[in-house]
Amino acid sequence: MTTATPQLPSPVARLLPRATAGDEQAMNDLLVQIRPYVARVCHSVAREHHSDATQEALLAIYRGLRTLREPAAFFGWVRSVTVREAIRTSKRLGGEPALPPVESRHEADPLDTVHINDVLGRMSEPHRQVLALRVYGLNEKEMAETLSLPIGTVRSRLHRARRRFQEAWQPTAA
């Protein structure tokens, strides 16, 4: 038997249709299920304001869930909403959004990770921001909305940030 959202974890797959239909208990249970994921993303973006960012993100998810048209895109949508709210909360409360740590889907040399984070640490804040948002999977339009910038500015920053990163990145010989 095939379900409508086979890639979603079982409790989320069961709760999502009921929550989008207006079942308040299902909505509450769904938010409890996704809270650890939302908190982890908020912690990596808003560091010292991660608790406030988590609450703001969960509220935004609660308010916007009925607009979700494709259940299979649930976690991508949650990630986008969460990153956007974490950045807004961090800016509003006077902090700067943090750059997420470098994550790898394969084993890498730990020194490469240190070197990557060093290169990122020496970049300007606007360049780190666009690279961080790209790491979280936001496209240029979503970055522009999140940062309240024209899309042309985002494209320019992203191009320059990539170029500066490539210029600074000089991996050690194996």
Tens digits of per-residue pLDDT, 138-154? 788 888 887 788 999 99
Least confident of 16-30, 74-88, 127-141, 144-158: 127-141
Q: Are residues 65 and 126 in the same domain?
A: no
> What is the total count of domains within the chain?
2
Q: Are residues 15 and 77 in the same domain?
A: yes
CA distance 166 to 32: 41
Q: Are residues 115 and 80 in the same domain?
A: no
Residue 49 has pLDDT above 80, yes or no: yes
CA distance 129 to 98: 8
CATH of the domain at 153: 1.10.10.10
Q: For residue 104, is it within any domain?
A: no
Quickly state the pLDDT bin for 170 (edges 50, 70, 90): low
Q: Which pLDDT does position 132 carry in this prediction?
A: 78
Q: Which pLDDT does position 4 carry in this prediction?
A: 45
Percent of the chain residues topping a pLDDT of 70? 79
Q: Which pLDDT does position 10 carry in this prediction?
A: 74
Q: Are residues 87 and 124 in the same domain?
A: no
Q: Are residues 69 and 139 in the same domain?
A: no
Q: Are residues 29 and 85 in the same domain?
A: yes
- Residue range of the domain that includes 145: 110-168
Q: For residue 100, is it within any domain?
A: no
Q: Are residues 27 and 73 in the same domain?
A: yes
Q: Are residues 56 and 119 in the same domain?
A: no
Boundary of a domain, candidates 92, 126, 147: 92
Q: Which pLDDT does position 165 carry in this prediction?
A: 85
| Tokens found for residue 171 | 């991996």
Boundary of a domain, candidates 29, 61, 92: 92
